[in-house]
Amino acid sequence: MLPRGRSFRAHFRLVLVSISLSEFALRKVRLRSGEATISQLMRILLYNPDNGVTRNFMPHLWMFLLQSITPAAHEVLLIDGNARPMNERQLVAFIREKQIGLVGIGSMTRMVARAYRMADAIRAAGVPVVMGGPHVTEVPDEALGRDGGPRHADAVALGEADETWPQIVADAARGELREIYAPVDESGKERKPSLQPYPSIPWERLDLDQFNMVPKVARPLLQRHANGWHSVHLIPIESGRGCPYGCEFCTVTGFFGDSIRFRSNESVVDELLRLKKHARKNRSQVIVFFIDDNFAINIKRTKSLLRDIIDAGAQLPWIAQISANLLRDEELVDLIEASHGKWIFIGMESIDPVNLADVNKSFNKPAEYAAVLDRLAKRDIYAITSFIVGLDNDTPGVADRTLEQIASWPPGLPVFGQITPFPSTPLYDRLLKAGRLTRPKHWLEFAPYQMANTPLKMSIDQTHAELDKAWTESYSPQRNAMALESIADKPFKIRVMHFAMRMFFRGIYFPQMTKRAWLKLIVDNRRSIFKLVTAGVGKWRASKKEVAAAGAPRESIQGTEGSVRARSA
Q: Which residues bind ligand SF4 (CB under 6 A)?
A: 243, 245-247, 250, 252-253, 293-294, 323, 347
Q: Is 215 exposed, middle or buried (0-12, 13-18, 19+ CB in 10 A)?
A: exposed
Q: Which does 253 bind (CB under 5 to 8 A by kind): ligand SF4, ligand B12, none?
A: ligand SF4
Cα separation of 310 and 269, whole Å? 9
**Could you give the angle at which helices 477-486 and 526-568 cross, rounded to 10 degrees?**
50
Cα separation of 473 and 445, whole Å? 28
Q: Which does 323 bind (CB under 5 to 8 A by kind): ligand SF4, ligand B12, none?
A: ligand SF4
**Min dist. Cβ of residue 96 to ligand SF4 (A):** 40
Angle, vertex CA 170, rays to CA 168 and CA 174, nearest 5: 115
Q: Which does 347 bind (CB under 5 to 8 A by kind): ligand B12, ligand SF4, none?
A: ligand SF4
**Min dist. Cβ of residue 345 to ligand SF4 (A):** 10
Residue placing its CB nearer to ligand SF4 in the complex, 44 or 327: 327
**Min dist. Cβ of residue 6 to ligand B12 (A):** 14
Give which of 157, 160, 141, 137 is closest to 149, Cα–Cα. 141
**Min dist. Cβ of residue 94 to ligand B12 (A):** 17
**Min dist. Cβ of residue 160 to ligand B12 (A):** 4
CB atoms within 10 A of CB 134: 22
Residue placing its CB nearer to ligand SF4 in the complex, 275 or 348: 348
**Min dist. Cβ of residue 515 to ligand SF4 (A):** 36
Q: Which does 238 bind (CB under 5 to 8 A by kind): ligand B12, ligand SF4, none?
A: ligand B12
**Min dist. Cβ of residue 473 to ligand B12 (A):** 19
Q: Which does 62 bind (CB under 5 to 8 A by kind): ligand SF4, ligand B12, none?
A: ligand B12
Residue placing its CB nearer to ligand B12 in the complex, 101 or 133: 133
User: How far from 72 is each of 69, 98, 274, CA to CA, in Å?
Assistant: 8, 18, 22
Cα separation of 427 and 249, whole Å? 5
Buried/exposed code over 93-118 (b: 16+ C-beta within 10 A; e: otherwise): ebbeeeebbbbbbbbbbbbbbbbbeb
**Min dist. Cβ of residue 103 to ligand B12 (A):** 8
**Min dist. Cβ of residue 360 to ligand SF4 (A):** 8
In 447-510, alpha helices (H): 460-474, 477-486, 492-506
Residue placing its CB nearer to ligand SF4 in the complex, 165 or 428: 428
Buried/exposed code over 387-410 (b: 16+ C-beta within 10 A; e: otherwise): bbbbbbbbeeebbeebbebbeebb
Residue placing its CB nearer to ligand B12 in the complex, 107 or 285: 107
Residue placing its CB nearer to ligand SF4 in the complex, 237 or 250: 250
Q: Which does 162 bind (CB under 5 to 8 A by kind): ligand SF4, ligand B12, none?
A: ligand B12
Q: Which does 134 bind (CB under 5 to 8 A by kind): ligand SF4, ligand B12, none?
A: ligand B12
Point out the residue whose Cβ comes nearest to ligand B12. Answer: 132
Q: Which does 265 bind (CB under 5 to 8 A by kind): ligand SF4, ligand B12, none?
A: none
Residue placing its CB nearer to ligand SF4 in the complex, 7 or 48: 7
Q: Which does 213 bind (CB under 5 to 8 A by kind): ligand B12, ligand SF4, none?
A: none
- Using DSSP's 3-state secondary structure scheme, residue 317 falls into coil
Residue placing its CB nearer to ligand SF4 in the complex, 164 or 425: 425
Residue 482's identity, in one-letter code, is M
Binding interface with ligand B12 (CB under 6 A): 51, 53-54, 57-62, 65, 104-106, 108-110, 130-135, 138, 157, 160-162, 165, 168, 236, 238, 250-252, 291, 293, 417, 422
**Min dist. Cβ of residue 92 to ligand B12 (A):** 18
Q: Which does 245 bind (CB under 5 to 8 A by kind): ligand B12, ligand SF4, none?
A: ligand SF4
Four-CA torsion 261, 266, 272, 273, nearest 10 degrees: -170
Cα separation of 380 and 343, whole Å? 9
Q: Is 344 exposed, middle or buried (0-12, 13-18, 19+ CB in 10 A)?
A: buried
Cα separation of 267 and 248, whole Å? 33
E-strand ranges in 302-371 read 318-321, 341-349
Residue placing its CB nearer to ligand SF4 in the complex, 172 or 247: 247
Q: Which does 294 bind (CB under 5 to 8 A by kind): ligand B12, ligand SF4, none?
A: ligand SF4
Buried/exposed code over 439-465 (b: 16+ C-beta within 10 A; e: otherwise): eeebbeebeebbbbbbbeebebebbbe
Q: Are 203 and 275 in contact (CB under 8 A)?
A: yes
Query: What count of residues does the chain have?
Result: 569
**Min dist. Cβ of residue 374 to ligand B12 (A):** 25
Residue placing its CB nearer to ligand B12 in the complex, 292 or 528: 292
240 bridge partner residues: 262
Q: Are 30 and 200 in contact (CB under 8 A)?
A: no
Residue placing its CB nearer to ligand B12 in the complex, 195 or 269: 195
